[in-house]
Amino acid sequence: MLQEIADSIRKRNQKIIGIPEGKEKENGAESLFKEVTAENFPNLEKEMEIHVKEATRSPNFVNVKRPSPRHIVVKLEKVNDKEKILRAARQKKITYKGTLISLSVDFSVETLQTGREWNNIFKILKDKNFQQEYSISKNILQI
């Protein structure tokens, strides 16, 4: 239940992974997101007007043991905008001023863990050449 609430709150959120620390201090994280979309999706930006509600680095503290930069979490006005951007991001490599970055969905930790567990199950099934078959009852087909 709590996991569903957390995911529904985050459903408009999108993560930017791999942008070096401090880049958002110049113009803010919102404008940084707009730079990324303008650089990588110029056609998409012309198609729709992307409204950013809020953008911040997450978490608020820097872990010195972790060499990678903190993620930037961007909250968009519309879920459809996030979905269109992520769909376009799957088609190509995303960069920010020549640095390879990635865009992903912002889910709760529990949802991500569940996804990892299911991915392991699907991998095992794929390795064993399991093919799912669908059987449809004749009763369902009669309308």
Among 21-25, 61-65, 73-77, 127-131, the least confident range: 61-65
Question: What is the C-alpha to C-alpha distance for residues 53 and 73, in angstroms, rounded to an integer?
Answer: 11
**pLDDT value at position 43?**
85
Residue pointed to by tokens 């199950």: 121
**pLDDT value at position 4?**
66
SS3 105: strand
Q: Which of the two residues, 75 and 109, has the higher pLDDT score?
A: 75
pLDDT at 137 over 60: no
51, 74 contact by CB (below 8 A): no
SS3 72: strand
Region 2-107: CATH code: 3.30.70.1820
Q: pLDDT digit string (tens) for 78-94?
A: 888 888 888 888 888 99
Sign of CA dihedral 54, 55, 59, 61: negative
- Residue (of 81, 14, 13) closest to 47 by Cα position: 81
Runs of H (alpha helix) within the chain: 2-9, 24-27, 29-40, 42-47, 79-89, 109-127, 138-141
Q: Which of the two residues, 26 and 140, has the higher pLDDT score?
A: 26
**pLDDT value at position 135?**
52
Q: What is the mean pLDDT of the segment spanning 8-37?
A: 82
